[in-house]
Structure 1
Amino acid sequence: MLETSKISVLACIVIFMQLTQANSPSDLKQCAFNDSTCTTNFAKLLLKNKSKTGWPELKLIPFDPMRINSLILQPNPNSPISIGLKFKNIEILGLMNTQNVRVEGFTSDVKDPILLEGTLPQAIIRGPYEGSGTVLGLPFKGKGDCEIVLTNLKLTGHLHGKLINGYLSIDDVSLTMSLPDKVHFKFGGLFDGNKDLGDTANAFVNDNWREIFESMKDDMALAFAKIVKEITKTALGSVQYKELFKEQ
């Protein structure tokens, strides 16, 4: 048992050294196809060591913070809580601290979806917004800075792709979000800057965070899925698929 533990530690050290010292994708051949333990460990190190800097040789952009030009969350007219939000030039922080990471499905033929799963202890979405709608019959209107903090948010994604001329092409990404342990909203500029009304509205929104999250999570998941697709499609499609893995 002790010998197995030594081997596992040694393997992690080797993977860490390869990741931090790699200058090109071809320098990394530590995982075999369908080795979910290895690809999961690699993903953890990638999140820790490349989230701030990216990986130019693999065309992987920095992703913590992840910067997004536009994010639109549509109102739900059939819900008692219906808020439409439009964000511009926002940041999403917290991806580098993802826990309970699981990566499966990197097979030689990629016939089945690739699974990406993890839990963000704290995900923060912040930036300028415009919003309007109703919350349990009460009006909601604002324009200014916004911060949304999601605690223990579990994300489960599936990459659907195929091999074209030896390159992995990502056609679609499906993503689901669990109900976080807590969501805290802070909207600035509510009701033309009226502090009393703004404080009351923020307090009311946070008292009903579950209902508000449920009303917007599908649009939020779609937005996140598009981001994941753009990043993975560029990175995975920049080099021959087989070069990313250990030769059999």
Structure 2
Amino acid sequence: MKTTIILYLFVLSCAGVKLPANFHKCNRNQPDLKECVLRAVQDGLPQLTRSFDEVNLPNLHPFHMSELTIGAGTGPVAVEQKFHNCSVDGFHRMKIKQFELDFEEKRIACAGSFPEIKLQCQYELDGKVLLLPIKGTGPCTIVMTNLQLTALINYEERKNRGKTFIKALSSKVTIDPDMIWVNFENLFNGDKPLGDNINQVLNDNWKDLFEDVRKGYTQAFDTILNHLLNNFFTKVSLEEAFD
């Protein structure tokens, strides 16, 4: 299974800019550092309904992916899912339960939930699902509700002009939605009754179908999370984030 994702995000060279005034800062030596970092992330994430270009943080309401490919599974999903010009909404509403930086082990642990993630794209499908043919191109909507996420990210430190910047090296991400609803428009060249039936089958069997391609969607969330962290910590040094 392959997963390809291209984001409309960018990474600039390390510059050591200051944290925006409306972002909360913590001191690495304060006794309640763990609680302070959690509060800072909980306070900062909902503010990303606009971009903060000075620290490489995009608008998450929504943000855009130019391309997303979820490879075929090994079971009921015998089709590669190709998505283009995607709008993804809901990341800014994440309820963060854990966000910890282990400076000794160089590791970030994160956990939380999304009330809803909505993906709206142009799609291309040509294959089989549950042995049923599925073919079409056009707009689609995929909604994941009450999605739980955990992430463990290992990073390295890099020095630049006397400042310390970090870069994610490897990560382990898990996702678990309570429900997934999909709607692929224009299936079978616009045969609406047939398309409606296929969409109903997809929604009735979402658990089995998601399990077959879970790895691909998990890799997509992994890539997005790592891009956001790397974008931010390419511009903001540890000395600036934790004075």
Shorter-chain TM range is 0.7 to 0.9
Query: SS of 1:30's equivalent?
Result: coil
Q: Distance in 1 between matches of 2:236 and 2:25?
A: 16
Find the counterpart in structure 2 of residue 89 from structure 1.
85
Q: Distance in 1 between matches of 2:68 and 2:227?
A: 15
Find the counterpart in structure 2 of residue 31 from structure 1.
26
Tell me, yes or no, if the aligned pair for 1:176 and 1:221 is still in contact at 8 Å.
Answer: yes
Kindly report which structure 2 residues correspond to 1:22-61, keeping only aligned pairs within 5 A, or say none.
Answer: 24-25=18-19, 27=21, 30-33=25-28, 35-49=33-47, 51-61=48-58
Tell me, yes or no, if the aligned pair for 1:113 and 1:161 is still in contact at 8 Å.
Answer: yes
Bigger share in helix: 1
Tell me by how many angstroms 1:158 deviates. 2.0
Deviations 1:18-77, CA, capped at 9 Å, x for gaps? xxxxx931756731338221111111111111x11122221212222120011001112x
Instruction: Give the alignment partner of residue 234 of structure 1, picking from 227, 231, 235.
Output: 231
Q: Please, which moves more after superposition, 128-137 or 97-106?
A: 97-106
Residues 64, 158 of structure 1: alpha-carbon distance in 2 compared, 3 angstrom cutoff:
farther
- The one-letter code of the counterpart of 1:141 is K
- C-alpha root-mean-square deviation of aligned residues, in Å? 1.9
Query: SS of 2:229's equivalent?
Result: helix
Q: Please, which moves more after superposition, 82-91 or 185-194?
A: 82-91
- The runs of 5 or more residues in structure 2 that have no matched partner are 1-16
Q: Distance in 1 between matches of 2:242 and 2:209?
A: 43
Find the counterpart in structure 1 of residue 166 from structure 2.
168
Q: Distance in 2 between matches of 1:186 and 1:29?
A: 40
Find the counterpart in structure 2 of residue 3 from structure 1.
none
Find the counterpart in structure 1 of residue 9 from structure 2.
none
TM-score, structure 1 as length reference: 0.82
Q: Distance in 2 between matches of 1:100 and 1:234?
A: 20
Query: SS of 1:186's equivalent?
Result: strand
Q: Please, which moves more after superposition, 141-150 or 165-174?
A: 165-174
Q: Please, which moves more after superposition, 113-122 or 223-232?
A: 223-232
Tell me, yes or no, if the aligned pair for 2:24 and 2:40 is still in contact at 8 Å.
Answer: no
Q: Please, which moves more after superposition, 146-155 or 59-68?
A: 59-68
Find the counterpart in structure 2 of residue 70 from structure 1.
67
Tell me, yes or no, if the aligned pair for 1:173 and 1:226 is still in contact at 8 Å.
Answer: no
Percent of aligned pairs sharing the same letter: 26
Q: Distance in 2 between matches of 1:175 and 1:32?
A: 28
Kindly report which structure 2 residues correspond to 1:174-185, keeping only aligned pairs within 5 A, or say none.
Answer: 174-178=172-176, 180-185=177-182
Bigger share in strand: 2
Tell which has more relative contact order, 1 or 2 (C-alpha 8 A, sep 6+).
Answer: 2
TM-score, structure 2 as length reference: 0.83
Find the counterpart in structure 1 of residue 185 from structure 2.
188
Query: SS of 1:237's equivalent?
Result: helix
Q: Distance in 2 between matches of 1:231 and 1:100?
A: 15
Find the counterpart in structure 1 of residue 116 from structure 2.
122
Kindly report which structure 2 residues correspond to 1:99-178, keeping only aligned pairs within 5 A, or say none.
Answer: 99-107=95-103, 109=104, 111-165=105-159, 166-178=164-176
Tell me, yes or no, if the aligned pair for 1:43 and 1:101 is still in contact at 8 Å.
Answer: no
Find the counterpart in structure 1 of residue 196 from structure 2.
199
For this pair of structures, how many residues does the alignment match? 219
In the TM superposition, structure 1's runs of 4+ consecutive aligned residues that sit over 4 Å from their partners are 26-29
Q: Distance in 1 between matches of 2:20 and 2:178?
A: 41
- The runs of 5 or more residues in structure 1 that have no matched partner are 1-22
Tell me by how many angstroms 1:163 deviates. 1.2
